[in-house]
Structure 1
Amino acid sequence: MLAGRLARAILRLRGGGSAVPGRVLLALSPRFLSRAVERMPLGVVFVSGSNGKSTTTHMLVSILRAHGVSVFSNPTGANLPQGIASAMLATVPLGGRLREEVAVLEVDEAFGPRLARQLAPHSVLLVNLQVDQLNRFYEPARVAGMLEEFARVATGHLVVNGDDQNLVALADRVAGSGAVRSEFAVEPALLQSGPAWLARGDNPALATSTARRDAAVTVESLDGRAATLSVAGNRVTVSLPARGLHYAVDAAAATAMALALLSDRFDAGLAAEGLGAMEPVYGRGEVLHVNGEDIELLTMKNPPSLQVNLDYLEPHPEQVFVAVDEGTPDPSWIYGSDLSRLDHVDVLTGTKAWQLATRFAYDEIPVGQIIPELAPALDAFLALPKPSRGVKTMIVNYEQMMLVRKQLGFLELEGRS
């Protein structure tokens, strides 16, 4: 514990490196994670899926805290074992056991089975199953096997996206494991008017919702950043941290799991209060205030995450910064993306800058400056006059998002919890 905290203190001085303290801790104490959660009264909840894990986790934590439940979570989206261990270092006593009632953890799909053996989650929330990082996961069918492996561990609750037939089929396969199953969904007419990626996953035939009518929570309408949810038959209007139907889906997912966990203690008014109080998650639609200007950070890691963010951009944002590096080893999947919301890019940076420039050229999207090094690229973008409308827009992959925040002076390791 002391060694991990020393590493954390050193890294906080320079910013970034959020997984390193956890690596130190787990190298010295391989059973640390199991020990940390073994006395939690309400146990461990896993949140996983292809996209929206971080936001959904943050929403669920906010709802539970609004109900007076003390919660531990990994707020930055560091969802590998070392990232979760690093997050624990911020609050766990030297005895090594968390004091909170419940741990709500975002987990990486590939590491979920391993983490399930260490943390024994009693409840699992699966947000979606979509085309993801092809260099890691290859095909969604492979990811389905990973999700199914730790979904079978759950003995309390299994909550799945009722519009994602891959997850509905998964839930059917694990029936009998002991977990109580419930679903969240979107009204079919509303879903069809939104980005197809929300329901399609890897199968275009799934673009039309076949959601079950008995979903515990349903998104009924969306107006800007306000969504109306039907929760066990009762309507409640909630505020979303950013625009887009995908955020409403995340809110429905979090509400459905909170309803399952709290049962008779669940209060729709408190859920709305919790959702209204939360801010966008670390780099996911987050707006940073720098030198009197607002900069919106949009993080992409796969085709659906890029497309839903683009679909909800105001057409032709005035100032655009794009940064992609080796965290996206093969960016060729961007050739399948609809970039029509962009009519130009002001500054393009990262080790993949020239590949992205070629992609933009095919759509005749002019690029103002290509500056492979991040620091001078940021300087050039920030030197642009303040937009006459809207905000400065940054579209970045995860690794560049972390570096951008650091360069702009946001050095915290864990983000807001």
Structure 2
Amino acid sequence: MPKITFTLISTKDALIAFGPIALMVIAVIFAAYYVVDPAPGRTLDFSAGQENSAYESFANQYAEELKKNQINLRVHESQGSQENLQKIADPDTNIDIGFVQSGSTNETEAQARGLISLGSLFYEPIWIFYRAKNEISNLSSFKGKRINVGPDGFGVRRLFAQILSVNNLEESDISIQQLENTPATVAFLNSQVDVLVMSSASDSVLVQMLLQTPGVRLFDFVQAEAYTRRFPFLSHVVLPRGIVDMGKDIPARDYHLISPTATLVAHESLHPALISLFLQAAKKIHGSGNWFSKQGEFPSDRYTEIAVEPQAEKFYKNGPPFLQRYMSFWMSNFLERMWVLLIAFGALALPLSKIIPPLYVWRVRSRVYRWYGQLRAVEHALDEATPKQRKQIAQEQLQRLDAIERKVNQISIPLSYAEELYGLRSHIQFVRKRLMGD
């Protein structure tokens, strides 16, 4: 006789009852995972700036932050803001996101090109370095000078042209040079360039070096407030006295500067879930104060002419999404994407809970109840027999009943349903007595 195990539940019957529903739910979840609002990609391309520039340095920091969430951020070199803008807007370049200086475009053009802003990150003041015996307070004094504004990809030329226009100057009034920052600085120190125009964050090595170079003057925008009224994308910032070197009192006084801001710009195809992730990284990288900004001032939804994406606006108002505060990025993203499916499944849970348990009970009890049909057939054979046949029929049905009993004794059933099994065995004995009575 095979060994009979006693369990609280029947695994086989439970799998048959619950299995199809469970498989259906799993299949729907997997289908929804890949079809309904696909998951964000794990590899992104970031257009930064020149080698050893502030843009490149910050982009590498973003790559480190996103790496913590299993996202590979590939950093690409570029000439600067204008080139980044072109690459992000062009789908053939496969650039997802990058740094763009405020003032590089306008809201209408940006919308037409599918660009969105995640906010501004830090000030990039206009640094104008020159040599002169006396301080210059008006840009018209640079007429006829050799002025380096960097390659077109930098975006400085476009900005400087706007500044010249409100000073009644044209580019034809000066000699435009377009060297990159490092060779331009060398040319400036060798007197091959008269004026050096740069737009960079305060931690630029070249800027800090020039601020401490004897004989090099920094242009003071005494009309800074007027510039910000003319150009809303500009801000008035102050380089405080002694901020470069307090011991040497460099600079020896406050300087007023005008400054665009570096903004984080992406193509509208960027997955919404990644926006919050980038802004969390931005808060870590740019949230501390520096020469021009206070702690917590950046990132910000201000200072950008490109419309800030609604998901980014939610971040600025409410902080990171609720689930991302307590879960990993991928788990929270999965739950956020699946919420419709989870609600639908929750709505089905009540009717399913009323169907599946009775199905399980029926499966277990059917192993007992189906033998009652055999018992009824035994009794029916005896009842249909003629008086002469009853003895022979009784002997035949006793053999049949013995076979039924052997099979019933091999039934494995959960303990909670043992009553039905023992009831069947007692009924077998009842039929046996009736057959033997004949």
Provide the TM-score with structure 2 as the length reference. Answer: 0.23
Rg larger in structure: 2
Bigger share in strand = 1
User: What is the TM-score when the length of structure 1 is the normalising length?
Assistant: 0.24
| Greater relative contact order (Cα < 8 A, sep 6+) | 2
